[in-house]
Structure 1
Amino acid sequence: MLPDLSPFMALRRHLAIAHHVPGRIRVKLAAAALARLPDVDPEPFIALTKRIQGVNAIRVNVASLSVVIEYDVRQIAAPVWERLLAGDTAEIEAILRDHIGRTA
């Protein structure tokens, strides 16, 4: 079962890929978003990411407003991350259905 995507969808428009090499991606929150979203909670993004099969580690850097995600490139193709941040809801749901709980 997919989680409620509305918290992620609200936050993701403020996220951008700051650096990406296969197996490691850094996603950054726009500083301007803090003015519009004073109570930004990264937890929905983190919780959703933790459920993706192939994610090995997640590190949050509050000072730089970024999250580093280490992942297994054999389980998650690099373009998947771009689609999670830019795709429409149907595309994101399809990606998550394919990557969440495959072994559960």
Structure 2
Amino acid sequence: MTDTVLISVRLPQPIAEAAKAVAEAQKTSRSNLVRIALEHFLEGVAGASELDRRRQFSLEYLFLALDLIIQRQYADVHGELLAEAEARMEALCGAA
């Protein structure tokens, strides 16, 4: 008996083409690509682990502390730094 279950999925043509291109670039099958994507999606739906929550808390705390220091000690460049951070995020992730 196998541990896998066959599930047929119909995809819109653009998604199927994009999946094929990524699978080829990653040197994997489309089936494996869909498995990986589904695993990531299900992990996201399940929520962050305790370790993920602690890491995020630490990052948020560090950001807030650094922002407060910059606001108080370098108020003249605070706005410029925020604008530069926004520009970098847009370049990395696309317009928000």
* TM-score scaled by length of structure 1: 0.25
Which structure has the higher relative contact order (CA within 8 Å, separation 6+)? 1
* TM-score scaled by length of structure 2: 0.27
Structure showing the higher strand proportion among its residues: 1
Structure showing the higher helix proportion among its residues: 2
